[in-house]
Amino acid sequence: MPKFEDCLERLEKVVQELEKGEVPLEKSLTLFEEGMQLSANCRKELEEAEGKVEILLKQNGKLQAEPFDALSEKASVRK
């Protein structure tokens, strides 16, 4: 299974190619299918990472799981 960063980079390229609209229909369908698979792989890897963070927080004495929210973290860094 490819690394998360590799999947995400390839997914971005697939989206860019599809957005151009210059690809024949058959290739568009193939790219769309690949993009959906890449998206599923990325989502699965993120969910696994979230589970690991929750376990680590519990092991460090926290009573309640506090899943890491990457989107909120990025938003606060930009401000």
Q: What does the pLDDT average to over 3-16?
A: 93
Percentage of the chain beyond pLDDT 70 is 71
Task: Give residue 64's pLDDT.
Answer: 55
- Quote the domain boundaries for residue 8: 4-78
pLDDT digits (tens, 9 = 90+) for 36-59: 999 999 999 988 888 887 777 776
Number of folded domains that form the chain: 1
Task: State the amino acid at position 7 in one-letter form.
Answer: C
User: Residues near 1 by Cβ (< 8 Å), separated by ≥ 6?
Assistant: 41
pTM above 0.75, yes or no: no
Residues comprising the chain, all counted: 79
